[in-house]
Structures are given as C-alpha cells and as structure tokens.
C-alpha cells in the first residue's frame, strides 16, 4: 500500500485591487513594521517543512508585487489572475499549476499575524481528521467584519455567510479565510460557485455550502487567540494589525532584557536590535535596520531612523532625531538635536539644539565628529564636515570648514577662538 506523504501546497491570494484600503500601493505591499505586509505570511510558510511549494496569485499591479517579492523569495511561484473577480476565481487560476498536487493550503496574503505553530497544528489536524476541507475559525468576543460560520442542528459546518448579508453579534464563530482542501474535490466543485450579484465577485466561502450539500467532510480548527486571524481590508484593520505586530516586537525585546517604559507609545521595526539594560522611553519611533547597544537610554520623543547605530552607554534624549548615522560609545545627545549622515566618535557631547545640515538641496553629505569633541548648544554643522578629536564649538556657532583637533571655534561662520594674551 502506498504511503501518502503529508505535504500541502500553499496558495496565497494577493491579487485584489485594495479598494477598501484606498491606497495606490497594492495592499500586500503596504509597509508593516519595516517590511511589506505579504512578507510576513511568505516567511511563515517558507519555514514550515510540510509545505512543499508556495504559489502567490497576483493580479492588480502584479509587476510591482512580483518585483518586490522575487528579491527576497526565490522559492515563490507566481500565478496571474487575469480578472480580479473574487477569491474563488483566484484559486481557480492555479489549477493548471497544481496537477501533481494532492492537498492545498489556501490563505490570504493580508493575514500577517498567523503564527507558524498554529499553521503547523492546523495542517496536522487536516491530515489527522482526513478532512475534505478544514477551516481555521475563532470565537470573536467583539464584533467582527469576518464571515460568520453557520452550523446545522448536528453542529456540522453548513456555510459561511459574509457580514454584508447578516447582522454581526458578539462572541460568534468567524471564518479566518485559511483552508486546507483535498485538491481534486476543490477543483471539481469550484465551477459551481455562482456570481455574488451585489459584489460582482465569486466568493471562495461559497464552496463550504457546496461541500456540505455533497456530504463532504468539513472540520474546523478553532484558535484560542482570535488576533491571529485578523486580516487587512481597511485602514482601520491595518491600524489594529500594526499595533499588534508592534506589541509582538516589543515583547521580544523585553524578553531579552530591554526596558520599554510604555509599550503603548513605543514603536519599533521587525529587525530592531537593542542590547540589555537599555531603556526606551515613551513616544520613541525606531525604524528598520537600527542597532542600539547595551546600557543605552533613548527618548522620550526620539526618532531613530533607518540604518542608524547607537553603541553602548550612549544617551539620546528628548526631541532628537538620528538618521543614517553612527553614535559611538558614551555619546551624550540629550536635547533637541538632529544628526544625519554622521559618525559621532566616542564620548562626544552633542549640545541642545545641534543640527547637522546634511542636505544642500541636491545631495546628502557626510560628517565626522572625533572622539571627546564638545558641540556647544545651538551649533549648526554644514556638511560635508570634519570635527577633530577634542575640538569644541561655541554656542550658536555655524561650522562651515573643518575643525582641527583640540581647537575651539566660535561665531557665524565659526572661526578659531584665540585667547587674548594677558599683559
């Protein structure tokens, strides 16, 4: 007897026009915590050994989606849905690519919160139950715009009804839009799905009632954490998903010894790295590819922009911005300052109101500030610039020329300060 290999093929739906998010950018490419929305589900699927191949269905602005996805995911195959006329037709578009496949995992590209362990358990559940179709569902404590699961008197799943057609209630079972199917049964019945006259689309959810009427075996896998199945249909959905994913990032940082004073008002990216014993105060925004060392203090009201690094024992305080810059160890930058395209040496003091003028209207320019330099309050450094080790600038100086090590410059424009010789 032939042993069936327990593998599924993933079909990711990402062809929609993003009508409800009202953006020019395809929904699956919206930035979420420093990377495109679609990357979350593709990373999760790529990490599951039971998934043998991943197909991404594209349609609206497909060239852009393919370009972005292909740069990171060479294992993903693309399927074009010529007309964006519903999820049933999106799945149907994959038929010719799946001739040798037996089992499918169908999932929307806008569900970034589903966890790897949940999907693994769900796939195993599908095989254990020998289901013709399995669905991930959840019991929502609050009202939801997800489709409602309808059961018959024997508690069998009978249908899924979109919320456009039924009044929403609290604490009801809802559909995640994540399914496992036996492929042959699915494609045999897909053509029976009728056009929804109101939406002018063919909904994959209608396959459930078709399966039920045929007597096929439908099983539900109910997740405990309803947040996992949240998708992005509107900007309101997106704001909630963004908040949840940010909390996950912060929880990971806190588990590694970082003190986040107020997680509700602190925002980081998927790849933010912060060392132990560091403190991040409220209203701090940290963008992608930022590294912060051990024993650092950041914020409140700080903005650490992409591709910046803050080394051990440095302090970045109130109303500060750092952009594409490196702050070496023991730097003090505690008030009202902007540092851009700059390397700041060890033990430098950046006085309140310091600005690196790194943009001349056409190009960005680099600045270097040497070890133990002291930048006085209100200094403007016009890039490209080089401030030597141990140099000092007077308050309100405008530095337009290189400053040698261990010298003091003052004024507008800044000149070397010469002490008068005593008589």
Active site residues: 335
What sign does the CA torsion over 140, 141, 142, 148 have?
Answer: positive
Q: What are the beta bridge partners of residue 260? A: 280
Kind and range of the H or E element at 401?
Answer: none
d(CA 386, CA 370): 8
Provide the 10 A C-beta neighbour count for residue 153.
6
d(CA 280, CA 161): 45
d(CA 14, CA 65): 9
Give the SS3 label for residue 178: strand
Whether residue 351 contacts residue 336, with contact meaning beta carbons closer than 8 Å, is answered with: no
Categorise residue 160: left if φ over 0, alpha if ψ from -120 to 50, beta otherwise. beta
Whether residue 146 contacts residue 166, with contact meaning beta carbons closer than 8 Å, is answered with: no
d(CA 52, CA 123): 12
d(CA 400, CA 11): 58
Whether residue 182 contacts residue 103, with contact meaning beta carbons closer than 8 Å, is answered with: yes
Provide the 10 A C-beta neighbour count for residue 4.
9
Q: What are the beta bridge partners of residue 138? A: 174, 223
d(CA 38, CA 96): 24
d(CA 19, CA 96): 28
d(CA 108, CA 110): 5
Is 208 exposed, middle or buried, given 0-12, 13-18 or 19+ CB atoms closer than 10 A?
buried
State the DSSP string of 277-324: T-EE-SSEEE-SS-EE-TT-EE-SSEEE-SS-EE-TT-EEEETEEEES
Kind and range of the H or E element at 179?
Answer: strand 172-182
């Amino acid at each position: 007897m032939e042993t069936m290999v327990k593998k599924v093929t993933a079909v990711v739906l990402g062809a929609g026009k993003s009508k409800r998010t009202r953006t020019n950018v395809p929904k699956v490419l919206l930035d979420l915590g420093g990377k495109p929305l679609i990357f979350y589900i593709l990373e999760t699927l790529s990490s599951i050994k039971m998934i043998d191949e991943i197909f991404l269905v594209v349609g609206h602005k497909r060239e852009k989606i393919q370009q972005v996805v292909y740069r990171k995911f060479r294992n993903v195959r693309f399927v074009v849905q010529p007309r964006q006329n519903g999820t049933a037709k999106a799945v149907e578009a994959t038929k010719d690519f799946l001739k040798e496949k037996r089992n499918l995992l169908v999932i929307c590209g806008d569900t970034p919160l589903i966890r790897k362990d949940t999907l693994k358990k769900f796939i195993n559940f599908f095989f254990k139950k020998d289901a013709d179709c399995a669905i991930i569902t959840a019991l929502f404590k609050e009202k939801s715009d997800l489709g409602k699961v309808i059961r018959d008197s024997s508690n069998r799943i009978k249908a899924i009804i979109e919320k456009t057609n039924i009044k929403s209630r609290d604490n009801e079972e809802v559909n995640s839009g994540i399914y496992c199917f036996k492929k042959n049964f699915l494609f045999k019945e897909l053509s029976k799905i009728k056009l929804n006259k109101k939406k002018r689309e063919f909904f994959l959810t209608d396959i459930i009632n078709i399966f039920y009427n045929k007597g096929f075996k439908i099983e539900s896998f109910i997740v405990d954490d309803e947040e996992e199945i949240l998708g992005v249909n509107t900007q309101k959905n997106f704001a909630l998903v963004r908040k949840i994913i940010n909390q996950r990032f912060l929880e990971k940082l806190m588990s590694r010894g970082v003190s986040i004073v107020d997680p509700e008002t602190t925002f980081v990216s998927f790849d933010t790295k912060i060392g132990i014993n560091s403190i991040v105060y409220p209203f701090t925004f940290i963008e992608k590819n930022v590294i912060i060392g051990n024993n650092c203090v950041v914020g409140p009201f700080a903005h650490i922009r992409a591709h910046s690094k803050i080394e051990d024992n440095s302090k970045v305080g109130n109303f500060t911005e750092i952009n594409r810059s490196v702050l070496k160890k023991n730097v003090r930058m505690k008030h009202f300052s902007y540092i851009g395209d700059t390397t700041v040496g060890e033990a430098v003091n950046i006085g309140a109101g310091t600005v690196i003028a790194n943009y001349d209207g056409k190009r960005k320019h680099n600045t270097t500030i040497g070890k133990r330099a002291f930048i006085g309050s209100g200094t403007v450094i016009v890039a490209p610039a080089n401030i030597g080790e141990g140099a000092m600038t007077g308050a309100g100086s405008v530095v337009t020329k290189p400053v040698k090590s261990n010298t003091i410059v003052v004024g507008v424009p800044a000149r070397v300060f010469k002490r008068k010789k005593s008589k």
